[in-house]
Amino acid sequence: MFCPKCHHIGTKVIDSRQSEDGRTIRRRRECESCGYRFTTFERIEQTPLLVIKRSGEREIFSRKKILNGLIRSAEKRPVPLAKLEEIVDDIELTIRQDGDSEVPSQKIGEFVMDRLAPLDDIAYIRFASVYRQFTDRRMFIKELERLEKGEKKEEERKHDA
């Protein structure tokens, strides 16, 4: 690796540490020529994920796009950004563990809704209205009823336990 200060090719690793999430390694390096110290990060290079849109078009998976959709749906709601980022992390991990390099956008939308519903009802309905392309109030009511049924089933399971 070359030194960012003097551009000499020889550097040595002084210290290596694994990041908290275990996905990267932080290395402290020192230039053998000028003694300048700097940090590099090493991570596994993952194959790019492709999203198959409803139109059949393919695009590169974008964490940012999912996070932006979650942020819009949770706007003015008491949902911490860290929770939304956890959802995105969990979805990406789930997709990568499935082993497919291509995933339908519908599957991603369902993953988002599964994780958003227990977090905040309003954010869930907002996301669902865009994702499922609600065109009238009947679609809203139907989704609210589905959400209500899910809550009743959860309450029954807690009560039976």
- Residue 153, helix vs strand vs coil: helix
pLDDT of residue 153: 52
- Alpha-carbon distance 58 to 7, whole Å? 40
Return the percentage of the chain with pLDDT > 90, whole number: 53
Q: Give the residue extent of every domain in the chain.
A: 11-43, 50-160
Name the DSSP class of 142: H
Identify the band that residue 138 occupies on the pLDDT scale cut at 50, 70 and 90.
Answer: confident
- Alpha-carbon distance 29 to 3, whole Å? 9
pLDDT digits (tens, 9 = 90+) for 20-79: 777 789 999 999 999 999 999 887 767 789 999 989 999 999 999 999 999 999 999 999
pLDDT of residue 160: 54
